Amino acid sequence: MIVSDDLIALVENYNPKANADLISRAYDYGHEMHDGQLRHSGEPYFTHPVAVAAILTEQHLDDATIVTALLHDTIEDTRSTYSEVEKRFGKEIAELVDGVTKLTNLQLSSSETKQAENFRKLFMAMSKDLRVILVKLADRLHNMRTIRSMKPEKQHQKARETMDIYAPLAGRMGMHWMREELEDLAFRVLNPEARNSIIRRFITLQRETGDVIQKITSDMELELDKAGIQAEVLGRAKKPYSIWRKMQEKEIGFSRLSDIYGFRIIVRSEQDCYGALGAVHQRWRAVPGRFKDYISQPKSNGYRSIHTTVSGRDGRRVETQIRTREMHEVAEAGVAAHWAYRDGVRAENPFAVDPAQWIASLTERFDSEDDHDEFLEAVKLEMYADQVFCFTPKGDVVKLPRGATPLDFAYAIHTRIGDSCVGAKVDAVRVPLWTRLKNGQSVEIMTAEGQRPQATWIDIVATGRAKAAIRRSLREEDRERFIKLGRELARVAFDQIGKRPTEKALSTAARQLGLDDSQTLLARIGSAELTAREVIQTLYPELAKTPGDEIDAARAVVGLKPSQTFRRAACCQPVPGERIVGISYRGKGVMIHAIDCEALAEFEDQSGRWVDLHWQEGRHPAVHTVSLDLTIANDSGVLGRICTLIGEQQANISDLVFIERKPDFYRLIVDVDLRDVEHLHALMLALEAEGDVAAIDRHRDLERKP
User: For 581, phi and psi rounded to 5 degrees?
Assistant: -145, 150
H/E segment holding residue 508: helix 503-512
3-state DSSP helix/strand/coil % of the chain, to nearest 5:
50, 15, 30
What one-letter code names the amino acid at 450?
G
Q: Given the residues 12, 43, 76, 219, select the one marked as catalytic.
A: 76
Query: For residue 151, how many other CB atoms are within 10 A of its CB?
Result: 9
Question: Using alpha carbons only, how large is the chain's radius of gyration in Å?
Answer: 29
Query: Which of 12, 58, 77, 84 is flagged as catalytic?
Result: 77
CB within 8 Å of 594: residues ≥ 6 apart: 569, 572, 573, 574, 578, 579, 580
**Cβ–Cβ under 8 Å, residues 100 and 132:** yes
Helix (H) or strand (E) holding 153: helix 152-161
What is the rounded CA–CA span in Å between residue 47 and residue 39?
9
Q: Which DSSP category does 302 fall into?
A: -
Contacts made by residues 169-173, CB under 8 angstroms, sequence distance 24+: 169/133, 169/137, 169/383, 170/137, 170/334, 171/383, 172/301, 172/362, 172/382, 172/383, 172/385, 173/133, 173/137, 173/301, 173/334, 173/335, 173/336, 173/358
Closest residue by Cα to residue 496 from 579, 622, 592, 620: 620
Closest CA to 61 of 130, 121, 148, 159: 130
Verify whether residue 655 is a known catalytic residue: no
C-alpha 466/C-alpha 440 separation (Å) is: 21
In 566-633, at which residue ranges do the beta strands (DSSP E only) sit?
566-568, 580-585, 589-594, 610-612, 614-615, 624-633
Pairing of strands 261-267, 317-324: parallel
Contact indicator for 49, 30 with CB cutoff of 8 Å: yes
Tell me if residue 77 is catalytic. Answer: yes
∠ CA(423), CA(299), CA(424), 5° rounding? Answer: 5
Strands 652-661 and 610-612: unpaired
Residues annotated as catalytic are 76-77
